[in-house]
Amino acid sequence: MNPVIKVDKAVKKFGRKVVLDGVSLEVPAGVVFALLGENGAGKTTLIRSLLGYYKLNSGSINVLGVDPGRRALELRRKVGYVSDQPGMYEWMTVSQVGWYASGFYPEGFADRYVSLANGFGLPADTKVRNLSKGMKAKVALATALAMDPELLVLDEPTSGLDPLVRRSFLESMVDRAAAGKTVLLSSHQVQEVERVADWVAIVTGGKLQIVAPLETLKSEVSIVTATQKDSLIPLPETSALTCYSVQQNGRQWRLVVRGWNQTLEQAWGAEPNISEIRTVRPSLEDLYIAFTAGDTSDQKSMQAMSQQAESALS
């Protein structure tokens, strides 16, 4: 099955500032795909590029078989989108928002909107300008969901929602994926994402750090903490091992690696310079912190771990 979204080496600049730096990823159909990253990581820029609001400096994007850089209006008729700052006509009532939007969509939109608005507890006759931030978010969600899109794109969708509505909404995203729909969810609320996501991508500083099914990340990625007496001993080199992050605190090294196993741990731990190794399977929050806290080691140390690795196994 073709991916719902395909991004290939996307670069987006604002002036001299690089906001997306060679991002490549694919979003399969029928999943909740979470885009995680701190504020300013590039998540919103990527989403707006997916929908054709921004044009890339280089690279390509395909969404539902459409190039958003060339056919943005056509694409937006197919995609439900809730931005982090939804724009609505402030003078309209909640009911009028649905009536107005129904003119752009096929029959059935209005009925679904009314049902969703009632479910969210929205006051039909209250003007948008008089709603709280959370209530405005609910209006935007009801509008996006009422079109029943194949792809639903949500940028920080639970901001301002009360806990019960937030939980119910997130569970409904799982139901949409089960029905074959696709949800792209941008957030920095890691615990919420971990509850509902099938796939996870972590973005920092405009770069994609990792993308994989959530269960794969949990089963294949390890956080290895090693206490060493003197200098850094390189990791064992193997094609199955990927080192994502290295952090140093005194004599203690903390590494995020994929493909770690007991054989590699024994080979590395046999080095006389290493006094202790501890390995844990991380939660999504552990991974998020590891990637967004910043790499406190220098790139020379990272390269040395690869270049000198064979000696650790000899």
According to DSSP, the residues that pair with 210 across neighbouring strands are 202
According to the 3-state scheme, what is the secondary structure of the chain? CCCCEEEEEEEEEECCEEEEEEEEEEECCCCEEEEECCCCCCHHHHHHHHCCCCCCCEEEEEECCECCCCCHHHHHCCEEEECCCCCCCCCCEHHHHHHHHHCCCCCCHHHHHHHHHHHCCCCCCCEHHHCCHHHHHHHHHHHHHHCCCCEEEEECCCCCCCHHHHHHHHHHHHHHHHCCCEEEEEECCHHHHHHHCCEEEEEECCEEEEEEEHHHHHHHEEEEEEEECCCCCCCCCCCCCEEEEEEEECCEEEEEEECCCHHHHHHHHCCCCEEEEEEECCCHHHHHHHHHCCCCCCHHHHHHHHHCCHHHHC
The whole-number pLDDT of residue 283 equals: 86
Q: How far apart are CA 142 and CA 122, in angstroms?
A: 10
- Tens-place pLDDT, residues 187-211: 878 888 888 899 999 999 999 988 9
Strand order in the sheet with 17-27: 17-27, 5-14, 58-63
Asked whether residue 305 carries a pLDDT value surpassing 60, the answer given is: no
Nearest to 193 by CA among 183, 180, 204: 183
Q: Is the pTM of this model over 0.85?
A: no
The whole-number pLDDT of residue 313 equals: 31
- Tens-place pLDDT, residues 122-149: 999 999 999 988 788 889 889 998 988 9
- Tens-place pLDDT, residues 2-30: 899 999 999 999 999 999 999 999 999 99
Q: How far apart are CA 108 and CA 148, in angstroms?
A: 10
Is residue 233 within 8 A of residue 247, CB to CB? The reply is: no
Alpha-carbon distances, residue 195 vs 62, 171, 183 (angstroms): 28, 9, 14
The whole-number pLDDT of residue 304 equals: 44
Q: What percent of the chain has pLDDT over 90?
A: 39
- Tens-place pLDDT, residues 242-252: 877 787 787 88
Domains with residue ranges and CATH for the chain: 5-213 (3.40.50.300), 216-313 (3.30.70)
Asked whether residue 48 carries a pLDDT value surpassing 80, the answer given is: yes
Nearest to 204 by CA among 63, 90, 33, 38: 38
Question: Residues in the chain, how many?
Answer: 314
Alpha-carbon distances, residue 198 vs 28, 101, 168, 217, 252 (angstroms): 10, 31, 17, 11, 33
Alpha-carbon distances, residue 193 vs 66, 144, 284, 292 (angstroms): 27, 20, 9, 16
Top pLDDT among 257 and 304 is at 257
Q: How far apart are CA 202 and CA 225, in angstroms?
A: 22
Asked whether residue 222 carries a pLDDT value surpassing 60, the answer given is: yes
Q: How far apart are CA 69 and CA 48, in angstroms?
A: 11
Beta carbons within 10 angstroms of residue 111's beta carbon: 12
Task: Using DSSP bridges, classify how beta strands 151-155 and 79-82 pair: parallel, antiparallel or unpaired.
Answer: parallel
- Tens-place pLDDT, residues 224-245: 888 877 665 666 565 567 877 7
- The CA-based angle 215-216-222, given to 5 degrees, is 105
Maximum CA extent, the chain: 76
pLDDT, average across residues 289-296: 67
